[in-house]
Amino acid sequence: MSNAAVYTQSPFNKSRKDKFLMAFDLPKCFKNHESNFNRNNNTVIPDSIKFSVFGAIVPSIEIPPVDIRYSGQTLAASSHTRNVFAPNTVSFTVDNRFNNYWTIYSWLNLLNHDKTGVYDANNITSGKSSNFEYRTNISIFALDEYNKRVVEFKYTDAFPTSLGGIEYSYRDGTEIESSFTYSYSQLLVSLVTSDIESF
């Protein structure tokens, strides 16, 4: 029997856990504070908002049943409602300039300033948190074996709620990892049908 006959399924016809990319536009309020060149404490770098992510990325999707009593028995029917999504946590590798870490930190600092303890201490929004200028859509793309995007998981009206810690050790030379948690309104899933360049 040849080696080719050993496979019952193509090795390429499988998704991998290491094939996910997170991407998002910065919230509207940051648009005047983007900089590709001027790296300082008052700007964020747009290129830093592509994350290679891992960990628990896509939550369970649930439309729970309800019990209906009928003629001495209990029937199951759909509630036609979705449960509230819990905040989502993703882990990521910190880049060598800490730009992606700084982006999430700056975003959290907008929501509650580390020194003043108030929203938008630097006055970069229109001034009202009710305008939700601090929210954006976050997309996580599943990639195929050629790093082409095949499925998009879109989290609407998202904003971070926490930024994970960093562990340092002079005995460990591996990459630095961190995480952040974000809340969102909806999870929308769609197939990517157009030819999008690999990242």
At 7 the pLDDT is 45
At 123 the pLDDT is 86
User: How far is Cα 195 from Cα 190, in angstroms, rounded to an integer?
Assistant: 14
Give the chain's residues under pLDDT 70.
1-18, 32-39, 42-43, 45-48, 56, 129, 195-199
Q: Domain 19-191: which CATH class?
A: mainly beta
* pLDDT tens for each residue of 110-123: 999 999 999 988 88
At 80 the pLDDT is 95
pTM as predicted: 0.79
At 26 the pLDDT is 84
DSSP letters along 145-194, please? Answer: TTS-EEEEEEEEEEEEEEE------TT--SPPEEEEEEE-S-EEEEE--S
